[in-house]
């Protein structure tokens, strides 16, 4: 249950009430908000006088639910805005991993040339094998931070575990919680304590309910800035890397108030499929599209097979603009 307390209730009284009914508490736009598990179906009589409005749920998708807030959340990322009523699909580009200063600089220059705002690259890579490239770590994060300063780009980079989450919060505009990390409570709780936007990627074996509940961890801790990212599920199929769940995207659009980004690169696993899949994604009226591109994919240190060339990335934007327009969106 979500409860909005009356305006005359002080913050300290709200904290006491939250303790009494074992609820999460935060202040949103001046309103004291309490959230309990969905098991609570009635306002406890002891706090009735303090409650202004309340919402009852039949499962633990609450703050993210359209039943609570019917309009899509608007999330400010650095110098731009995603979601809300913008009717815009933001194209987010960059390599899978930051590999060197010259490599990430070329990525940044490409985005600036194309008029794009948001650069994504991994520094703390959650690799499946301990013997593959693990990312440049803090050194890579500093390179991203430098690109942010020099080019005014927004930076998205991922957190692998809770040891470096504060560094990522400090130096990025969006914290990416990857498909393998989205169950990590240390990361989710740290993300809940900041106001930095958090991009949660859906695990490849994660139900929609589990996915949105990961978002609830961040929202209920007081950070309203959550964006969801569908990046493909593991199915019986092995010819493609994963299977992009567009049905799931339709479900999320219908039932949640969170902005949605799609990632066709990780879903497909092969560059040849990324442009056509991107069209399908953009045709759904989405808030962002995340596509990996590298100056020379053949030598990329991670996800080499799926990254577009820089020319391929330029062509992608040109081909997507009319698709976005056909569904009443603009592509930037
Ligand atoms: C990535 O974004 O480079 C990445 C590792 O993605 P995912 O968490 O979706 O596997
Ligand atoms: Mn990748």
**pLDDT above 90 (res 79):** no
Tens digits of per-residue pLDDT, 255-314? 999 999 999 999 999 999 999 999 999 999 999 999 999 999 999 999 999 999 999 999
Tens digits of per-residue pLDDT, 162-204? 999 999 999 999 999 999 999 999 999 999 999 999 999 999 9
Indicate the top mutation candidate among 123, 198, 200, 201 to test ligand 1's pocket, ranked by most ligand atoms within 8 A of CB.
201
pLDDT of residue 146: 98
Whose atoms come closest to the Cα of 159: which ligand? 1
**Nearest-angstrom CA–CA distance, 33 and 4:** 5
pLDDT of residue 121: 98
pLDDT of residue 157: 98
What is the rounded average pLDDT of the residues 109-115? 98
CA 152–ligand 2 middle distance (angstroms): 23
pLDDT of residue 92: 98
Residue nearest to atom 1 of ligand 1 (CA): 96
What is the rounded average pLDDT of the residues 222-229? 97
**pLDDT above 90 (res 106):** yes
CA 199–ligand 2 middle distance (angstroms): 15
Whether ligand 1 lies within 6 angstroms of the CB of 121 is answered as no
Whether ligand 1 lies within 6 angstroms of the CB of 182 is answered as no
**Nearest-angstrom CA–CA distance, 235 and 188:** 26
What is the rounded average pLDDT of the residues 37-57? 96
Q: What pTM, to 2 d.p., does this model score?
A: 0.97
CA 9–ligand 1 middle distance (angstroms): 44
| Pair 88, 281: CB distance under 8 Å | no
What's the CA angle centered on 187, arms 185 and 193, to 5 degrees? 100
> Which ligand 1 atom sits nearest the alpha carbon of residue 122?
3
pLDDT of residue 289: 98
CA 81–ligand 1 middle distance (angstroms): 23
Tell me how crowded residue 302 is: count the other CB atoms within 10 A of its CB. Answer: 19
Q: Give me 172's structure tokens.
A: 């990025």
What is the rounded average pLDDT of the residues 142-158? 98
Average pLDDT across the chain, whole number: 97
User: What burial class does residue 255 get, using C-beta atoms within 10 Å of its C-beta: 0-12 exposed, 13-18 middle, 19+ buried?
Assistant: middle
CA 303–ligand 2 middle distance (angstroms): 5
> Which ligand 1 atom sits nearest the alpha carbon of residue 96?
3
Q: Give me 27's structure tokens.
A: 């202040």
Whether ligand 1 lies within 6 angstroms of the CB of 200 is answered as no
- pLDDT class for 73, splitting at 50, 70, 90? very high
């Amino acid at each position: 249950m979500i409860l909005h307390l009356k305006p005359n209730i002080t913050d300290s009284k709200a904290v006491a009430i939250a303790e009494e009914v074992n609820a999460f508490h935060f202040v949103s736009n001046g309103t004291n908000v309490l959230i309990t598990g969905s098991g609570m179906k009635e306002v406890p009589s002891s706090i009735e006088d303090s409650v202004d409005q309340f919402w009852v749920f039949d499962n633990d998708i609450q703050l993210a639910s359209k039943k609570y807030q019917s309009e899509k959340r608007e999330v400010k990322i650095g110098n731009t805005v995603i979601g809300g009523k913008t009717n815009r699909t933001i194209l987010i580009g960059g390599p899978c991993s930051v590999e060197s200063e010259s490599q990430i600089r070329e990525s940044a220059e490409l985005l600036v040339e194309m008029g794009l705002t948001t650069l994504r690259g991994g520094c703390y890579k959650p690799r499946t094998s301990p013997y593959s490239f693990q990312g440049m770590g803090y050194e890579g994060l500093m390179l991203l931070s430098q690109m942010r300063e020099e080019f005014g780009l927004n930076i998205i980079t991922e957190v692998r575990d809770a040891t470096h989450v504060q560094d990522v919060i400090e130096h990025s505009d969006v914290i990416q919680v990857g498909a393998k990390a989205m169950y990590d409570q240390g990361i989710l709780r740290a993300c809940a304590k900041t106001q930095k936007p958090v991009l949660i990627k859906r695990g490849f074996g994660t139900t929609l309910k589990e996915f949105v509940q990961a978002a609830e961890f961040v929202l209920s801790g007081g950070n309203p800035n959550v964006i969801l990212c569908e990046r493909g599920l593991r199915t019986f199929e092995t010819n493609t890397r994963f299977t992009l769940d567009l049905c799931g995207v339709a479900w999320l659009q219908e039932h949640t108030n969170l902005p949605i980004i799609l990632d066709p690169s990780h879903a497909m696993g092969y560059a040849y499929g990324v442009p056509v899949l991107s069209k399908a994604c953009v045709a759904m009226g989405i808030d962002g599209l995340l596509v990996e591109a590298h100056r020379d994919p053949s030598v990329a240190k991670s996800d080499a097979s799926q990254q577009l060339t820089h020319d391929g990335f330029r062509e992608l934007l040109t081909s997507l603009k009319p698709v976005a327009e056909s569904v009443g969106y603009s592509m930037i």
